[in-house]
Structure 1
């Protein structure tokens, strides 16, 4: 009985011991029905699993679901920490003046945006790391890489004499956290059958996105806790090191590599030639790019517009309400995907862009009222709309490539179009993440040129309307119900 309880907690099958290789090389799983329609699972040294077939219902129901869930749980935890590290500089920069740093507004925006630039770029090679090294192995490596920017941040912010160039380099290293999303999503997609893949990937993405919210909640509290009215900025990096080590240990002990996880460079090259990839990448910059971009600048905007609300004292600690933005955006993402399943991704994406444009305009027009709570409410609505759009846009991609890609129109098989869609998802997620760099830089340029962020917000409204028109013209206007659902 105690063994069953332990198995339920860890998700480890009795046939797959968590602390060692489950079976000797070449030994197969017992004939318990998992081999129906295909060979039984074979456990190899280094926690490699051969003969994995999530579409084999007998294998899935007997052993596969538990193994997949266990890998998903640790993948979410590792990706969550990746988002935490990715967003650390956006929180720390607003505390730099009180710690004795004297950086210009332009330099502050570069510290905010550099992690997104590097993280978006790393998403492309990270997509191919899982097939090359194994999902478990790469999760260990990618988690341990987070120790570098975390430790580097602690060292830099502890010395007000740290040159800006060094600070910028360490901020760039935080991009390791942004790359984790691509490898994590690529890994989990191999574990789940098509009928459950959307929900699993949605949980994985939402769990990761929540890292931005938790970081923005926890860091201001931690750096002021027992600091006697000052700030202890090195804690912002050091506090995550035990959790990073735990994630790496958990991946080593409980996760698995799949021999069936194969790279698809050819599929990526084919996807790049598809016009739909670039259209969807534009739309994803508008949805996810807005989410991650505004998550990065929200603490800075609150401090610039409403400095008295930048840090709210609660006892001996300081609290920033900026965490509410990425929190509601993360929670809205699964609902965007679910509504897209019911009503069509294109329709929900158009709705999201319309809402984002209206909310942004309303926020700009009400700024003269100098009402913080109205500003906060409207920005939370903007985060909600962008998160909703994330889920809806992401859901569109496999349907579009299955029905409207050049490969689909030329009569390619379902397997071929699925490979194309899988490659497109990775590339689109990478391109969309560049929004995290673009939004802070546009705001910085606007402030430098005019002394105000307002022109930048009008530019965002115009961009949302253009993206709305593109989505409507390309997918909603000609849309009709297909056998696989609305686009």
Structure 2
């Protein structure tokens, strides 16, 4: 049995594992699992803090009272630009792992979080220009990229039979960074602390995460960029269809995470403390339920769960519209939290669809066994970075919609009506592409048709 070697590669520095074969059960049981779990833990830590820094401005704007001279539209624009940068950097972060190594890039990406945190710490005071705040908010967006590189890195460490559990834990551990920073913000506000206190709490934790990654994580020498797979994924229509559907789920989750407290404060006149008391609940529940969405997709089919999840999201949004028009804070808050939960559930079911879709395409092409599995892994792995990036752009759309709605009618009602229509469109696309076709396939009874592999996505 060959143990995973961490001897440096001849031409590359750092902790490089030269031999890594997680599909070999003997290797996995003897040494592989221990190494993989160690890397998973410290990767989650860095990604978790990355999510917190990415969304820190959702808390910061609650601190920024009239003395800062910012309108509600200004605040929504700040969080929108953080969302935009976080979405864009996911694409280069996806491929950075193979260029620099998973351990090396985790150290770099964690260390980079010091830039937006220290910058905001220095300038966070009344009298600072809006453009300065905008630059700091955009810099915070780099925290959104940690998710993409962490998922790519951990995907390489685990065998296929363990990937669902590992990636689910990795994603959930990162997403929980959103409610954690909001909970810390609640504590700081409750203790009458200022925004600098919140930023100061994170600076030492960023340093600790980078140091622990350097000491305890590893690079896998065999991980290489497959530029051909990336090009094929861009050309594949399902990559863009699933990106659209992921806008509806993850885009909603991250967009509402940024906007929830600000909407409560702006539309319902809540104080920063009153807003912070409930802001964290939705993202927390949405993060925790993400693995449940994946498990339901395993059992009933991701397309079916996603379809009915959009029905639930539309219903919750309809209730929010009514509550917004009636100015009912309890109904509004309850429905908004339900919407968060459903967005998290949909995150799990939509992401679970991706490998199933490409596996179905492989079978329809006549591929079998390991050849089909390799085809599916190749395209699904390359498409996940694109889908994750485009999905995060949905958060930008949500915050810009809120900004326009408050500018136009003084409330978020108009934005919620637009979201309701969008969820209806997501429902229609899911049914038309992934469920309607399977029904027509089932009706095909001719011998010639039965002899030809058919695309059926109902169980993906």
TM-score (norm 2): 0.91
Asked if the contact 2:263/2:412 (under 8 Å) is kept, the reply is no
Show CA shifts across 1:11-36 (max 9, x none).
Answer: xxxxxxxxxxxxxxxxxxxxxxx34x
**Could you say what secondary structure the match of 1:74 adopts?**
helix
| 1:147-158 correspondence to structure 2 within 5 Å | 147-157=114-124
| 1:130-149 correspondence to structure 2 within 5 Å | 130-149=97-116
Matched, 1:453 2:416: no
**Could you say what secondary structure the match of 1:43 adopts?**
coil
Show CA shifts across 1:336-378 (max 9, x none).
Answer: 0000000000001011111000001011112344332222211
| 1:85-104 correspondence to structure 2 within 5 Å | 85-97=53-65, 100-104=67-71
- Distance in structure 1 (CA, Å) of the matches to 2:351 and 2:374: 19
Pick from 311, 320, 344: which aligns with 1:363? 320
Pick from 14, 21, 39: which aligns with 1:53? 21
- Distance in structure 1 (CA, Å) of the matches to 2:160 and 2:457: 13
Q: What do you get for the CA RMSD once the two structures are aligned?
A: 1.9
Matched, 1:199 2:165: yes
Asked if the contact 1:337/1:391 (under 8 Å) is kept, the reply is yes
User: Could you say which residue in structure 1 is the equivalent of 2:451?
Assistant: none
Pick from 266, 277, 292: which aligns with 1:304? 266
Q: Any stretches of 5+ residues in structure 2 without a counterpart?
A: 9-13, 443-454
Distance 1:319 1:433, change over 3 A: closer
Shift of 1:286: 0.3
Asked if the contact 1:284/1:432 (under 8 Å) is kept, the reply is yes
User: Could you say which residue in structure 1 is the equivalent of 2:46?
Assistant: 78
Asked if the contact 2:310/2:426 (under 8 Å) is kept, the reply is yes
TM-score (norm 1): 0.86
Distance 1:457 1:422, change over 3 A: same
Show CA shifts across 1:303-354 (max 9, x none).
Answer: 1233246424xxxxx9531000100110111100000000000001011111
Asked if the contact 1:223/1:236 (under 8 Å) is kept, the reply is no
Matched, 1:241 2:214: no
Pick from 118, 121, 125: which aligns with 2:88? 121
Pick from 373, 377, 383: which aligns with 2:334? 377
Shift of 1:485: 8.3
Asked if the contact 1:223/1:235 (under 8 Å) is kept, the reply is no
Pick from 123, 129, 132: which aligns with 1:163? 129
**Could you say what secondary structure the match of 1:239 adopts?**
helix
Pick from 419, 431, 437: which aligns with 2:390? 431
| 1:376-395 correspondence to structure 2 within 5 Å | 376-395=333-352
- Distance in structure 1 (CA, Å) of the matches to 2:6 and 2:39: 15
Shift of 1:215: 0.6
**Could you say what secondary structure the match of 1:452 adopts?**
coil
User: Could you say which residue in structure 1 is the equivalent of 2:377?
Assistant: 418
Pick from 333, 338, 344: which aligns with 2:301? 344
Larger helix percent: 2
